[in-house]
């Protein structure tokens, strides 16, 4: 009997398709093996898995391999190179559609058909569907007619809303979704009048140079043209499922955000000749060392024409498979150590290695006689150069991701590794790939100096997450620095000195020592309560988006987790997590808190904060649309499941539930009714089953909630003021809009008056007031917030010790005097001037 192998990016898809096929067998059995997903939850394909699956079902009648798309084909082809030649000779790679083909092939194999007959049945599996949907002799020509005459064409436009435009993550999301539909989708930037590019090609979509506010035309032809255009419009309305709530906004990505703001404002464009630029805060001085993989040079032998295109293409497939496996491993480690947001960097790398448009270009060059290294390097460098030519700095920085994949695959082709052994001192290199940056240890590498690169590059983001001081764009001359030469750098200012004289080195070391002393003093007292000079205790909490954040918050003395962003625990999923999965994730986070209270925010998505598995409407103004608690109440089954999971954890851990973006009391009461139902359900339908420690609170993010705070007081245990959103709604100044950055200041007297309104409403009861926006870690703002009546500051985990130390320097009566004067000030600038005076 013929054996069958199913190769798919999704383990769940392959398993479900196999179950459908087996239902047709009526008790008969067929050998079917799956080579699907990199694990049960991670999308991808692996040639070694395919090889093992082929060997598992192999027999004298042969094996038919069915594949879904993209890298599944490459993995299957490579697997034939890995199995014994005798086995490979009786394996057929089949072009049939996965589900229909699998059903037809399974039935044929069960009936004792030959390999050729099984393949023929699979390939013909669409005939029934085609005859049903397109009856008559013209059916076979319908696709061509539609494309030529526009009968099946669909066309629409959308405006890019993503903060940084269609950069790597949203472009990858778009390309990945488009590939699943039976339609040819093209995109054109109407704002820049760019040529149309294939929507299924990540590398080509990125070259649109689509920035926030640009108008993009999307067209589609094919049987699912309308569905494809509607799908793209829905993705665009959800900002291509890119979470705008960057965990770095509150300083949690920086090593010590209480002392610096990370990348300095006003850094000019890379390549202007004004570098180096600050990329990761901190001061370092030490001996320079350069990894051996900094520069890749192709020899004349590498560039020489090849005689065997098949062998060269096999080399490329093998190199891609190797780098893909390494990237998946690096992504997993990054997610475990730094969180899902940082790990998502590697999703775009995986998508690029599966870009059919790019791989087709590489294969054409190979077929024309180019060697594997020459074909790969020429093609991918051209894509990087197109991105480098864009005007926007953030999109231009995405060229570095393309170069990173270029270098990793090229090194694999040359039989070299892109990994290197970190050494003590300052790493000096042309650039770093995100994979290299993710593996650096701040206890070994004291600083990073890059000749090229950008403060917004993914490598810089990872350096900040690792807490390693870094400067970038230092120029090619820095690569001439001899090994072990002392290099001094300041990652806050961009200052870089190679081979400093004794006086300069002493000055750097003195600044570094002062900074470390302040940090050490703060860290030594981190576990102690933050008492003002007059003895008032202020709780300092940590903002948490993953288990690693919870560990960091605990290690750095957080009194509690003031905000657990539950949506960050399930990024990258296309289906909602089950109650059990959510309980497991929440329990892992609260366990890391070692008994501290955990304030768990229900899903804060919708509008400008998308999540792939939550369907969201297309809205003209998503900031004022269905988001936060509004979306949760519109999808009560999601809210109910989440509350079930939270309540399970609350049974044995101090937990508070926090509802986001509440604007009306009716919304809160509706949510509380669902919570009461869940609690009653957990108690077998009896009343009074609420855990003693369970609290309920809301986020104050819109002016209406702040002004009506007194009405909410009877129904909550605490308020948490989200100053990021409250500021943008109060001042009509979108956060993230660079043109409005000076206006969107949370110390504007209008915003302070709203905070004052909340604190006054809470003062008559035991209702606590916390602040969890960026301003909570601003040393200038601390006296004002305390003076207005805020009794909890929730900040990035690493900022906790410094914020606690700042609180200890304050006198509450003096803070109250400052706050009263600030409320009567004219502007935020006046407020800041009054404090720093």
Band the pLDDT of 246: cuts 50, 70, 90. very low
Q: Output the furthest CA–CA distance in the chain (Å, rounded).
A: 90
Distance CA 698, CA 761 (A): 14
**Which whole number is the average pLDDT over 52-64?**
92
What is the pTM assigned to this prediction?
0.56
Catalytic annotation present for 149: no
Whether the predicted pLDDT of 168 surpasses 90? no
Say which residue, 649 or 164, is predicted with more confidence.
649
pLDDT of residue 155: 87
**Which of 379-393, 712-726, 802-816 shows the lowest mean pLDDT across its residues?**
379-393
Q: What is the dotted CATH code of the domain comprising 146-241?
A: 3.30.1340.10
Per residue in 179-193, pLDDT tens? 778 888 999 999 888
pLDDT at 609: 55
CATH label, 308-413, candidates 3.40.1390.20, 3.30.2130.10, 3.20.20.105, 1.10.274.10? 1.10.274.10
Q: Is 26 a catalytic residue?
A: no
Residue found by looking up tokens 């035309």 in the block: 217
Predicted pLDDT at 148: 39
3-state secondary structure of 281: coil
Q: Using an 8 Å Cβ cutoff, are 210 and 189 in contact?
A: yes
**Class of the 3-133 domain?**
alpha beta
Give 1's Cβ-side CA count (13 Å radius): 16
- Mean pLDDT, rounded, of the chain: 83
Summarised one tens digit per residue, pLDDT across range 495-535 is 999 999 999 999 998 988 888 888 889 999 999 999 999 99
- For residues 790 and 761, the answer to whether their CB atoms sit within 8 Å is no
pLDDT band at residue 391 using 50, 70 and 90 as cut-offs: low
Report whether pLDDT(264) > 50. Answer: no
CA-based nearest residue to 297, from 373, 350, 371: 373
Reported as a single tens digit per residue, the pLDDT across 437-476 is 877 888 899 999 998 877 767 688 778 877 899 999 888 7
The β-bridge partners of 472 are 277
Structure token digits, residue 240: 């291509």
Q: How many Å apart are CA 448 and CA 460, to the nearest integer?
A: 10
Strand, coil or helix: what is 156? strand
Predicted local confidence at residue 811, as pLDDT = 95
Q: Which residues contact 72 (CB under 8 A, 6 or more apart)?
A: 7, 8, 9, 45
Residue 275 has a pLDDT of 67
| Rounded distance between C-alpha atoms, residue 19 and residue 21, angstroms | 5
Q: Can you give the pLDDT at residue 529? A: 96
Local confidence band at 270 (pLDDT 50, 70, 90 cut-offs) = very low
pLDDT tens digit sequence for 333-366: 777 777 776 777 788 788 888 888 889 999 999 9
Q: Residue 430 in contact with residue 479, Cβ under 8 Å?
A: yes
Residue 383: is its pLDDT beyond 60? yes
The domain locations on the chain are: 3-133, 146-241, 248-292+420-500, 308-413, 534-836
Looking at domain 248-292+420-500, its CATH architecture is: 3-Layer(bba) Sandwich (3.50)
- Which member of 458, 539, 556, 653 is catalytic? 458
- Taking the C-alpha atoms of residue 328 and residue 350, their distance in angstroms, rounded to an integer, is 8
Lowest mean pLDDT among 435-449, 590-604, 647-661, 751-765: 435-449
pLDDT at residue 282 above 60?
yes
| Least confident range of 141-155, 533-547, 718-732, 759-773 | 141-155
Nearest to 461 by CA among 610, 351, 339: 339
Average pLDDT, stretch 680-690?
65
Residue 542 pLDDT grade (very low, low, confident, very high; cuts 50, 70, 90) = very high
| CATH architecture for residues 534-836 | Alpha-Beta Barrel (3.20)
């Amino acid at each position: 009997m013929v054996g069958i192998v199913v190769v798919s990016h999704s383990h769940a898809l392959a398993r479900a398709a196999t179950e459908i096929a087996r239902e047709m067998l009526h008790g008969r059995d067929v050998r079917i093996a799956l080579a699907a997903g990199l694990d049960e939850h991670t999308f991808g394909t692996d040639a070694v898995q395919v090889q093992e699956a082929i060997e598992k079902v192999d027999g004298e009648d042969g094996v038919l391999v069915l594949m879904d798309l993209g890298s599944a084909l490459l993995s299957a082809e490579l697997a034939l190179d890995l199995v014994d030649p005798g086995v490979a000779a009786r394996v057929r790679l089949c072009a049939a559609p996965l589900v229909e083909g699998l059903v037809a092939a399974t039935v044929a194999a069960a009936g004792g058909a030959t390999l050729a007959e099984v393949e023929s049945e699979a390939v013909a599996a669409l005939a029934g569907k085609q005859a049903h949907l397109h009856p008559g002799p013209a059916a076979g020509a319908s696709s061509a007619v539609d494309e030529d005459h526009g009968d099946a064409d669909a066309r629409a436009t959308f405006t890019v809303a993503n903060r940084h435009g269609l950069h790597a993550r949203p472009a990858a999301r778009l390309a990945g979704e488009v590939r699943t539909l039976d339609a040819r989708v093209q995109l054109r930037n109407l704002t820049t009048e760019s040529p149309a590019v294939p929507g299924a090609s990540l590398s080509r979509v990125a070259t649109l140079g689509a920035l926030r506010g640009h108008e993009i035309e999307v067209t589609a032809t094919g049987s699912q043209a309308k569905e494809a255009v509607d799908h793209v419009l829905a993705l665009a309305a959800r900002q291509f499922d890119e979470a705008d709530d960057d965990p770095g906004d509150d300083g949690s990505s920086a090593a010590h955000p209480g002392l610096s703001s990370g990348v300095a404002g006003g850094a000019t464009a890379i390549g202007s000749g004004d570098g180096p630029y600050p990329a990761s805060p901190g001061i370092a001085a030490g001996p320079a060392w350069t990894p051996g993989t900094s520069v890749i040079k192709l020899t004349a032998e590498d560039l020489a024409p090849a005689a065997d295109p098949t062998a060269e293409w096999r080399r490329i497939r093998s190199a891609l498979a190797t780098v893909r496996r390494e990237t998946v491993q690096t992504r997993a480690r990054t997610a475990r150590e730094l969180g899902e947001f940082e790990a998502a960097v590697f999703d775009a790398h995986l998508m690029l290695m599966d870009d059919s448009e790019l791989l087709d270009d590489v294969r054409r060059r190979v077929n024309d006689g180019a060697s594997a290294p020459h074909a790969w390097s020429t093609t991918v460098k051209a894509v990087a150069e197109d991105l480098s030519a864009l005007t926007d700095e953030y999109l231009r920085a995405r060229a570095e991701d393309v170069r990173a994949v270029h270098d990793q695959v090229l090194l694999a082709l040359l039989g070299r590794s892109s990994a290197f052994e970190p050494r003590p001192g300052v790493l000096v290199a042309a650039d770093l790939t995100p994979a290299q940056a993710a593996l650096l240890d701040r206890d070994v590498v004291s600083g990073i100096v890059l000749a090229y690169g950008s403060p917004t590059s993914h490598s810089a983001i990872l350096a900040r997450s690792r807490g390693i001081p870094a400067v970038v764009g230092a120029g090619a001359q820095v690569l001439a620095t001899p090994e072990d030469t002392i290099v001094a750098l300041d990652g806050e200012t961009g200052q870089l000195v190679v081979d400093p004289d004794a006086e300069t080195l002493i000055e750097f070391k003195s600044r570094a020592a002062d900074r470390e002393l302040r940090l050490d003093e703060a860290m030594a007292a981190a576990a102690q309560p933050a008492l003002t000079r007059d003895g008032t205790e202020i709780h300092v909490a940590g903002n948490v988006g993953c288990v690693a954040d919870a560990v960091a918050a605990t290690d750095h003395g957080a009194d509690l987790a003031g905000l657990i962003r539950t949506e960050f625990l399930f990024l990258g999923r296309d289906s909602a997590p089950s109650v059990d999965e959510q309980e497991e994730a929440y329990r892992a986070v609260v366990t890391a808190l070692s008994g501290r209270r955990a304030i768990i925010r229900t899903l804060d998505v919708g509008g400008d904060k998308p999540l792939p598995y939550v369907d969201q409407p297309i809205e003209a103004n998503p900031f004022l649309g269905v988001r936060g608690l509004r979306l949760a109440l519109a999808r009560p089954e999601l809210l109910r499941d989440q509350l079930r999971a939270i309540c399970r954890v609350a049974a044995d851990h101090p937990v508070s539930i926090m509802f986001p973006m509440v604007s009306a009391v009716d919304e809160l009461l509706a949510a509380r009714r669902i919570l009461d139902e869940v609690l009653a359900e957990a108690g077998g339908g009896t009343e009074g089953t609420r855990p003693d420690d369970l609290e309920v609170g809301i986020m104050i993010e819109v002016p209406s909630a702040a002004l009506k705070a007194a009405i909410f007081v009877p129904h909550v245990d605490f308020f948490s003021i989200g100053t990021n959103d409250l500021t943008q709604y109060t001042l009509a100044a979108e956060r993230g809009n660079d043109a409005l950055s000076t206006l969107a200041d949370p110390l504007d007297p209008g915003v302070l008056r709203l905070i004052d309104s909340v604190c006054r409403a809470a003062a008559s009861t035991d209702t606590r007031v916390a602040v969890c926006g960026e301003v909570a870690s601003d040393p200038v703002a601390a006296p004002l917030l305390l003076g207005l009546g805020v009794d909890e500051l929730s900040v990035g985990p690493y900022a906790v010790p410094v914020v606690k130390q700042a609180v200890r320097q304050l006198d509450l009566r003096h803070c109250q005097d400052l706050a009263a004067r600030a409320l009567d000030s004219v502007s935020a600038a006046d407020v800041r001037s009054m404090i720093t005076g």
